[in-house]
Structure 1
Amino acid sequence: MDFTDVVVFEEATTYPIILIAQKSNHKSNFIFFKYTKANFYDKELLCNTSIYTEVAQDKLNTSAWNFINSFEKNVLSKIQKHKSIIELFGKCYYGVKTALNEAFVTENNLGSYNVLKDVYDGKDLKKWATPQPFKKMIVFESKSTSKNFGKLSEDVAFEKMKVAYPEIISHLEPFKEKAKKRFDKGEYWWELRNCAYYDLFEKPKIIFPNLQNNNKFAFDDTGVYLNAPAVFLPSNDKALLAVLNSKAVWHFLKSGCVIRSGGYIEVKPQYFEQIPIPNIDATIQNKLTVLADKAIQAKTNNQQADITEIENQVDQLVYKLYELTEEEIK
């Protein structure tokens, strides 16, 4: 029994599940109850709005259990037979972890220094294209102070930083004690932790929030940074972006990602990297790229633009790539 968003405990947000199991060779099907969002104390409503699914026990594997019926299992199997993102495109990465966002992410105008990077929080990210960033991240990389001024005592180094970056240091100084207490920080308290992939933020990438209630994959080639836990994949493949924003991929993600409240799922890197990507020939690659460009342009010009027709065309192409039938699409 999965209670999903049902409020079982009035003063706590929980996701309770009741599992009754025994070790045996029993191969028959069993019933899985999934309660929809309802008042836990309204028993009649709770039962009438619940989902009852017959699950084949012999379809459960040893890694993770997915309580879906045989038909849905077959649909997923068609999708899963393809190579994963990590096999085809490599790793994805979290955004920068400052450990003190109130200090290092700001909307204030602190000048035009090259250590001030345009940045998105996960909540800023939209599908296809994201509005112009309005925040800056202060990125003093670990050991950058020593690189610029030599190995100095903290007090002497701080005086040199005040001369070199007066507006930024004036902004950071009130957060000094909090910044010092960070477990993850650089050589000096105004620096960020070590990060081996700062350069990747400057390159074309597919960006997305870790929490999604529908596909929210966007393309960026402007060098915008991300604030963790937002995630990015270094790639300029817009056909891949189109596949990621398809209904077929959303179906896959909902089946394997951690469910959060309000209809959201958590798309962690380890889940994203396992998304199966079908083989795409040059003709379909070009069609998907053209459609992605149209969607990006439309959403860049107006976030409220209706691109339903474009997305329907993407979905139909992707359904064919995964070899899904009309019945399976429904």
Structure 2
Amino acid sequence: MPHQIPVTKTASRCIAEHVQGSHVFSIFGYSKHRGAGMGEFVRSGAFSVGESEWAIRFYPDGLRENSKGHITVYLELLSKDAKVHASCDLRLVDRSTGLSSSVDITVPMVFNQKDSSRFAPQHDTFKNRSEFEASSYLRNDNLAIECVVTVMREAHVSETRSSPKVDVPPSDITEHLGKLFEAKETADVIFSVGEETFAAHKIVLAMRSPVFKAEFYGSMRETGAQAVPIKDMQPNVFKVLLHFLYTDSLHIIDDLDGNDRSEMIRHLLVAADRYSMERLKLVCQSFLCENLEVQNVATTLDLADQHHCRILKDACIEFISSLNKGKLLWKSICRKSYVWSDHEHTA
């Protein structure tokens, strides 16, 4: 397993700060302002947002030829020699409801008081005049323009900090399930195996084995039984099987040595096939593959064939083929009537 280099994680934040203000410019006697000529305007009183002075310009006849047939409205930066990073939202106030609606929104830009960028928006057609005059924005010859100005301040960057390190312990679910296995008082099923009995939990067994699921919750389920009999299995094998169902490990047989351990694994492989426990079946195959010997390969091959263990079966065949006396061993196997459907061998 490659060595993992510890990674130090740090973090900082950038917060965009801003200040916002709004100004309503009310114009009475709109019709009296009309006809003064293109480029003529009325300007609101100066108002302050973000330590800068601003004003609204209203052109009832438009500013230039390209704005003919429109009214024109601008926000203007008044502060001398100022450069301000800001955005604006120019609105018309509905004279019937008092609510305002956006007509033109300018995204953040740099207003430079020394040139034409002191104005926003950068176009002359604010609102079609005929539509405006027919709307509720003009009532009793009066109108109101609202301008919301947002001035961007210098962004605030936080100090760099190390991310808190939390040591998360390894998963302990198997430990808890192991304790559940030992907690006999919460069990809801009893198994009778030979002269011994074992208490367990139906839901855990059903979760781990489709065969147990069918027995406890499917059409095969038995009701009213005092104990579920388990035939053709030794008590110590069933105990190890239950332990694996709860903990996904075979540590319970770590104290077995040599032939006893191998024999237990063989019985467990049979049990795994019986209860459709594919992971346990693979664990058993792995152990038996690693412990093949001349003395056990024939019986292991027979076990693999009976319980459809292709990996173990192939390992046995390869082991036999690698032996100097492989032909004699094959003859011995054939005399015992072993038949391999998907391999052809010459004795």
Sort the TM-score into its range (normalised by shorter chain): under 0.3
State the TM-score, normalized to the length of structure 2. 0.19
- Which structure has more relative contact order (CA 8 Å, sep 6+)? It is 1
